Structure 1
Amino acid sequence: MSKLQLGTLILVNIALGILGKLAPQLNIFVIGFPLLLGLGLLAIYIFMPAMQMLVEHLLSMSMSFAGKTMLTAAQP
Structure 2
Amino acid sequence: MGIWLYPAIITGVLLLAWSYYVTMRVAKETEQQATTEDTPIHEAIKDHPFLLNPIIVMYFIMNLFLGIIIFYYWATTSY
TM-score (norm 2): 0.47
Instruction: Look at both structures and tell me which one has the larger radius of gyration over its CA atoms.
Output: 1
More helix by share: 1
TM-score (norm 1): 0.49
Point out which structure has higher relative CO (alpha carbons under 8 A, 6+ apart). 1
